Amino acid sequence: MNILVIGGTRLIGKHLVLSLLSNEHVVTIATRGKTKDNYGDKVNRICFDRTDEKQIKEAFKNVQFDLVYDNLAFC
Average pLDDT value for residue range 27-31: 97
Does 25 reside within a domain?
yes
Does 19 reside within a domain?
yes
Does 24 reside within a domain?
yes
User: Can you give the pTM of this predicted structure?
Assistant: 0.90
Does 49 reside within a domain?
yes
Averaged pLDDT score across all residues of the chain = 93
Does 61 reside within a domain?
yes
Residue 40's domain comprises: 2-70
Average pLDDT value for residue range 50-61: 94
Does 75 reside within a domain?
no
Question: Considering only CA atoms, which of 31, 59, 56 is closest in space to residue 43?
Answer: 31
Does 26 reside within a domain?
yes
Q: How far is CA 73 from CA 6, 7, 26, 34, 67, in A?
A: 12, 11, 24, 18, 19
Domain count, the chain: 1
Q: Is the distance from CB of 48 to CB of 59 less than 8 angstroms?
A: yes
pLDDT at 24 over 90: yes
Does 9 reside within a domain?
yes
| Spatial distance between the Cα atoms of 40 and 38, rounded to a whole number of angstroms | 6
